[in-house]
Chains A and B, each alone.
Chain A
Amino acid sequence: MDYAIIVEELTKRFGRFTAVDSISFEVKKGEIFGFLGANGAGKTTAMRMLCGLSIPTSGKGSVAGFDIMNQTEYIKRNIGYMSQRFSLYEDLTVWENLRFFAAIYGIKDKEIERRGVRVLQELNFYEERNTLVKDLPLGWKQKLAFSTAIFHRPGIVFLDEPTGGVDPLTRRQFWELIYQTADSGITIFVTTHYMDEAEYCNRVSIMVNGRIEALGSPANLKQQYHAESMDNVFQQLARV
């Protein structure tokens, strides 16, 4: 079995505070993995370590085949990242954004031209390629941000609350895009506060006070906690 992420006893301390407390898990290639937890449970700290932005205090692991202790620059080059807060430059056009991010990852102009046109056509954005991003509806921005994050064809893409604030239909279209991407072999690592979205994942983990308290498929977790929904599983675990 090939893994996109393997971590063992990953720990991060800030002074005397342990933000991430010896977590171990793996994510299979092509899997949609939901990373859940209450605010302050340690999700962001863990995610920063997985993205190569923060060095663990102890533990070991690899992301996209690179060591999280000493190969962080390779990790950054081989993953995609999208967050709700920072995703695109508002005062650049659709095309300029795509080109900018692709070029940062070292993709040649010709290749950007060829694939960029196709990506925009698939999203039905081609007509809007010269529109400033700030003039796009939020749902479009998020789809564009996602396509930009996977344009360099990373093995894994990290999505930090990607669907906040969009209408229910656009939210579902976004998840169809996620499914399609996972189907093409790219691993998806996603955080969300929408519990129906937890059900869309192949497996989810739930973090409580820096530790992973539960990990499994939504169906297994619901069975294990005698719960009807993932919301109920979450309420049982995360209430402290």
Chain B
Amino acid sequence: MITVENLTKSYGEVEALKDISFHIDAGKIFGIIGPDGAGKTTLFRILTTLMMADSGQATVDGLDVVKDFARIRHCIGYMPGRFSLYQDLTVEENLHFYASVFNTSIKENYYLVQDIYKQIEPFKKRRAGDLSGGMKQKLALSCALIHRPKALMLDEPTTGVDPVSRKEFWSMLQRLKEQGITILVSTPYMDEATKCDHIALMQKGRLLSVDTPERIVAAYPDVLYAVTGDNNYRLLCKLKENKEVKMCYISGESLRVIFHKNNVPAIEGVEIRQVAPTIEDCFIQLMQ
């Protein structure tokens, strides 16, 4: 559904994308996982035909992002990172506007947005600018969907959103996927990686890894341990000075530690047990 080959883009001296290649199968959820400055938004702007790459090619549904930009715009739905609906139009007016731009009506495609839109429908006469963050997000998603796109491109839809609303949002995406829509979604939250079929870990314009979340975790090269003591901060300072320790960092209620040659020393008053790495551990490993 989406192919990206050797994409490169610079802003002056800053290389935002460095030779990026991957492809996305139809009907899948593909996650771009990375912090601010990774190049996620630049990639979205190129794929949504809003910006041209310096070199390389990309296609969406077999259409070239440069030559066929006008046709691509009809078959994708885009939700940019910043809320970009009309703040002084009402909820209903926004949705109606986006439907009419694409020569369709709310009625025709209501079944597709129903699940999401009905949650904000009680406020349909309210101006979009007066909605809460979560409601704005639902309206933006409804507007991106109303012309029945083949592919949805969502740039950081959950940034700054609390864990409960984030979970709800991902269930909505799962239901859209079941309708056959291909979804490209970016996020800085590593725990959301496991909700995707495939993920690309991205940092400073480069892809660190592209695969299924399971295979990325399976490829973790070291043995990782959870180490717990009375005072994790003091323990961390102590471990950093220990020559047996290759890497250590805080992680939730314990520390994560990798030992040189997997030689696990005995440390008094400290519990050490082997743990499976998460996507976040993999990201930290790949950043080195």
Contacts and interface: CB of A to CB of B under 8 A. Distances in A.
Interface residues of A, number: 36
A101 B250 CA distance: 31
Nearest to A137: B37
Given A40-B133, A167-B203, A169-B284, A196 B252 contact: yes
Given A39-B161, A167-B203, A235-B164, A138 B37 contact: yes
B252 A229 contact: yes
B125 interface: no
A218 interface: yes
A235 B190 CA distance: 18
A219 B232 CA distance: 14
Interface in A50-106: none
A239 B284 CA distance: 31
Nearest to B35: A167
Contacts of B37: 137-138
A172 B253 CA distance: 13
Nearest to B281: A168
Interface in B174-199: 188-191
Given A168-B190, A170-B35, A196 B251 contact: yes
B82 to A, nearest CB: 13
Contacts of B102: none
A199 B253 contact: yes
Given A166-B36, A183-B233, A235-B167, A172 B133 contact: no
B218 to A, nearest CB: 19
A195 B163 contact: yes
A26 interface: no
B162 A38 contact: yes
Contacts of A167: 34-35, 203, 283, 287
Given A193-B163, A196-B251, A231-B163, A168 B280 contact: yes
A34 interface: no
B250 A193 contact: no
A200 B250 contact: yes
B249 interface: yes
A43 to B, nearest CB: 10
A179 interface: yes
A161 B189 CA distance: 14
A238 interface: yes
Contact of A193 (B132, B162, B252, B283): B162
Given A196-B252, A218-B253, A235-B167, A169 B287 contact: yes
Given A39-B132, A39-B133, A39-B165, A164 B252 contact: no
B207 interface: no
A120 to B, nearest CB: 21
A165 B35 contact: yes
A37 interface: yes
Of listed A138, A165, A231, A234, residue having the most chain B CB within 10 A: A165
Contacts of B251: 172, 196
B84 to A, nearest CB: 18
B7 to A, nearest CB: 21
A164 B160 contact: yes
A2 B258 CA distance: 39
A193 B35 contact: no
Nearest to A196: B252
A238 B166 CA distance: 12
A239 B249 contact: no
Contacts of B253: 199, 218-219
Interface string B210-238: 00000000000000000000000100100
B161 A193 contact: yes
Nearest to A240: B164
A29 to B, nearest CB: 17
Given A175-B250, A199-B252, 18 more contacts: A38-B162, A39-B134, A39-B160, A39-B161, A164-B159, A165-B159, A165-B188, A166-B36, A167-B283, A168-B287, A172-B249, A172-B251, A176-B233, A179-B236, A183-B233, A229-B252, A230-B252, A235-B163
Among all A-B residue pairs, the 8 with the closest Cβ atoms: A167-B35, A165-B36, A179-B233, A199-B252, A38-B162, A196-B252, A199-B253, A238-B164
21 contacts: A39-B132, A39-B160, A40-B133, A137-B37, A138-B35, A164-B159, A165-B36, A167-B34, A168-B35, A168-B190, A169-B284, A172-B249, A172-B251, A179-B250, A193-B162, A193-B163, A196-B251, A199-B253, A238-B162, A238-B163, A238-B164
